Amino acid sequence: MTDYRAPTTDMRFTLEHVVGLDTLTSLDRFAHIDRDLLTGILDEASRFAREVIAPLATVGDTVGAVHNPDGTVTTPPGYKEAYQQFVEAGWPAAGFPEEIGGGGLPWVIASALQEMIIAADMGFALCPMLTAGTVDMLVQHGSDEQRATYLDKLVTSEWSGTMVLTEPQAGSDVGALITKATLADDGTYRIKGTKTFISWGEHDLTENTIHIVLARTPDAPPGTKGISCFIVPKYLVEADGSLGERNDITCVSIEHKIGIHSSPTCTLSFGDDGDGAIGYLIGEENRGMQYMFTMMNEARLSVGVEGLAASHRSYQQSADYAMERLQGRTIGGPRGEAAPIIKHPDVRRMLMLMRSNIEAMRGLLYSNALAIEESRYLTDEDARRKAENLAAILTPVSKAWATDLSVELTSLGIQIHGGAGYIEETGVAQWWRDARITPIYEGTNGIQAQDLAMRRIPLEGGEAIRQLLETVAVEASSLEGDLKPIGERLLAAAEACGEVTMTLGTWLLEEKYDDVLAGATPYLKMMGDTLGGWILARGARAAADGPDGYSDEFLADRIASATFYAEHILPTVPGLASSATAGAAGLYEIDEARFA
């Protein structure tokens, strides 16, 4: 297996010249961030990921987490020691505001750090990723007392956090949950029920785990309107901050999964031994789903980063293999002399598909993270509102487009290895197995597509998405010289997206919801591929300007990636329009009983 090498040069180029980090560094809050600091942070995070985290990936995959008879979970060898180093180095806190004890970096830079940790070992990275969502929940919706009790140790990741939503009978339909929360005389609640697919729900990396649990109070209305949100700690916390008795939470089992074997995916039972596990209400009753979206939207972007990270790890190993593996001869090459397979056109095609898509994914995901930060910190109300709308549109695209691509690209990594890729000893299959969960996490990709079509098209009366596509079109039209063919293909893709958006928007007004939903997934694919092309076009323009601090070869390669993407990916976008606007009738021509 190839040692992990973080793409720090491309990360820095993307931050500086593609997404526009200067919109944040111009603010007093982030004025301390300059190129030297950015370079130093990326280089040190790369070293840490390579030396401390990446060596865990193989043992994590082969040994996995172990569920013990007493209900505890043991992580693979080396995980506790690496996690302690991770916490002591301050990496989990880097992207949180200084006001709550964080490192004060904007989340877009923290996303780059997150990419490195995930690429090094996705199973390991899931634990602090979920803790970050718990921090966001408490910052935005917790009481002063709750923040004082839990926040410090969650920011540092000395304690971990979880999202406890799913139940066996409910799946993605969170409104069908039946876990009960009953008010006790002391003002706390007693939680009883069973939750499934809880990542890092039980483990030995931290001394306490703070579960954020969705449950229903006795008189709550049905569906999502009747859901409340609770803090349910693994160990109760005393007034002086010390740990008290263990709460009534039992890890019944962990799942045997395709990938991410080191990440324990738990079935948790609350309240088996008494009246229920002790929980503390966050905010008001029946507003839990609203609060939970605070965690889920952050997590959706992070899951998109998971797709990016797995794709890059697979690409890196595949490129190294292609340069070393001798097989076949090139056209016109000497007889009897095998060539490295990277010289063969089809292998080069697969590597270019991986590389160009990865650069597009990185730029789009970082742009999404930047928009989230701008929506929080920009002082100009119009600019802040525009950033908020952009983040709303990009989040479902980032999650679904990037993770669907990750399955495709990590599969290409196996293909480049040929038969050796299908052998576990090669190690390249792990990246595909790890990536395969990402289109399912945090709302399946079909749900993300529905969100884009049903909720983001009507945003601001349709103006938000129209303005985004207009921006893409204007930038595409402005490309000249050698970059003009990129602009022409990007413009055609943006126009196709605009036409489909108009059709789906009209159907929404006509309440033809099944027709909209039938086209939602191909529509999201169109938007993702187009926005990916927009990101690469921005990178090509910046590279053509020859910024300081980058080699001529690197800048030329960025232009080559954008050109390849424009030639091979963008022309497929208009072809998806007929699928996106076909309507729902064809989906129901075959009677459901005849699917058996």
pLDDT in tens, 199-235: 999 999 999 999 999 999 998 998 889 999 999 999 9
581: left (phi over 0), alpha (psi -120 to 50) or beta: alpha
pLDDT (0 to 100) of residue 296: 73
Rg (CA), the chain: 24
For residues 242-260, average pLDDT: 97
Amino acid in the structure at residue 108: V
Q: Which residues pair with 230 in a beta bridge?
A: 213, 281
Angle, helix 345-377 to helix 381-417, in steps of 10 degrees: 160
| Predicted pLDDT at 458 | 97
314 Cα distance to chain centroid: 17
Parallel/antiparallel/unpaired status of strands 265-270 and 249-254: antiparallel
560 token code pair:
């080559």
Torsion (CA) 80, 84, 86, 89 in degrees, nearest 10:
-160
Of 3.30.365.10, 2.60.260.20, 2.40.110.20, 3.40.50.2020, the CATH number of 160-290 is: 2.40.110.20
Residue 530 contacts residue 587 (beta carbons within 8 Å): no
Return the structure tokens found at 378.
């920009």
Q: What is the pTM of this model?
A: 0.96
- Per the prediction, the chain carries an average pLDDT of 95
CA distances to 83, 149, 259, 434 from 124, in Å:
8, 26, 12, 12
**With 0-12 CB in 10 A as exposed, 13-18 as middle and 19+ as buried, what is 128?**
buried
Question: Domain segments of the chain: what residues?
Answer: 8-155, 160-290, 444-587
Q: Which pLDDT score, from 0 to 100, does residue 329 have?
A: 86
Specify the CATH architecture of the domain 8-155. Answer: Orthogonal Bundle (1.10)
CA–CA gap between residue 231 and residue 12 (Å, rounded): 38
- For residues 52 and 370, give the distance between their C-alpha atoms in angstroms, rounded to a whole number: 28
What are 158-187's pLDDT values in tens digits? 999 999 988 887 766 777 788 999 999 999
pLDDT value at residue 164: 92
Please give the average per-residue pLDDT across 107-129, as a whole number. Answer: 97
Average pLDDT over residues 353-372: 97
pLDDT for 546 equals 95
User: How many residues are recorded in the chain?
Assistant: 596
Neighbours of 238 (CB within 10 A): 11
CA distance 16 to 576: 33
pLDDT at 295: 67
Q: Determine the 3-state secondary structure of 358 from DSSP.
A: helix
Residues 6+ apart with CB under 8 A from 267: 194, 195, 196, 197, 198, 251, 252, 253, 254, 255
Q: Which tens digits make up the pLDDT trace of 427-451?
A: 999 999 999 999 998 889 999 999 9
CA distance 169 to 155: 33
Longest distance between any two alpha carbons in the chain, whole Å: 86
Tens-digit pLDDT profile for residues 500-544 = 999 999 999 999 999 999 999 999 999 999 999 999 999 999 999
* Tokens read off for 581: 């606007």
Beta-carbon neighbour count of residue 590 at 10 Å? 9
Mean pLDDT for the stretch of residues 471-489: 98
| C-beta of residue 60 within 8 angstroms of C-beta of residue 124 | yes
Distances (CA, A) of 225 to 183, 246, 455: 18, 31, 18
Among residues 50, 38, 52, 48, the alpha carbon closest in space to that of 9 is found at 38
SS3 226: helix
Distance from C-alpha of 561 to C-alpha of 556, rounded to nearest angstrom:
9
Note the pLDDT of residue 271.
Answer: 95
Angle between helices 428-435 and 288-324 (to 10 degrees): 160
Q: Residue 427 in contact with residue 317, Cβ under 8 Å?
A: yes
**Strand, helix or coil for residue 252:** strand
* Integer CA distances (angstroms), 392 to 302, 453, 565, in order: 15, 12, 25
CB atoms within 10 A of CB 94: 18
* 242 contacts: CB under 8 Å, gap ≥ 6: none
Q: What is the helix (H) or strand (E) element at residue 183, kind and residue range?
A: strand 180-183
Alpha carbon distance 242, 265 (integer Å) = 28
- Res 1 pLDDT > 70: no
Return the pLDDT at 292: 82
Tokens of 480: 């000249």
Backbone φ, ψ for residue 281 (5° rounding): -65, 135
Compute how many other C-beta atoms are within 10 angstroms of the C-beta atom of residue 95: 23
C-alpha to C-alpha distance for 167 and 154, rounded to whole angstroms:
25
Question: 561 or 3, which is more confident?
Answer: 561
Write the pLDDT tens digit of every residue in 321-349.
999 999 988 888 888 789 999 999 999 99
Which pLDDT band holds residue 293 (cuts at 50, 70, 90)?
confident
Residues labelled catalytic: 442
